[in-house]
Amino acid sequence: MAYIIGLLSEIEQAELGRRGWEIEDCPPIESERISNPLPGGDGRAMKMCWVDSDMFQVMTGPDWEPTPDR
Asked, for residue 63, whether it belongs to a domain, the answer is no
Structural domain of residue 9, as residue ranges?
2-58
What was the pLDDT predicted at 25? 86
Overall number of domains in the chain: 1
Q: What is the largest CA-CA distance in the chain?
A: 46
Asked, for residue 53, whether it belongs to a domain, the answer is yes
pLDDT tens digits, 10-66:
999 999 999 999 999 887 765 455 555 555 567 788 888 888 777 777 667 666 666
Asked, for residue 48, whether it belongs to a domain, the answer is yes
Write the CB contacts of 35 (distance below 8 Å, at least 6 apart in sequence).
Answer: 28, 46
What was the pLDDT predicted at 34? 57
Helix (H, G, I), strand (E, B) or coil at 63: coil
Asked, for residue 67, whether it belongs to a domain, the answer is no
Q: Where are the beta strands (DSSP E) in the chain?
A: 2-8, 24-25, 45-52
Asked, for residue 69, whether it belongs to a domain, the answer is no
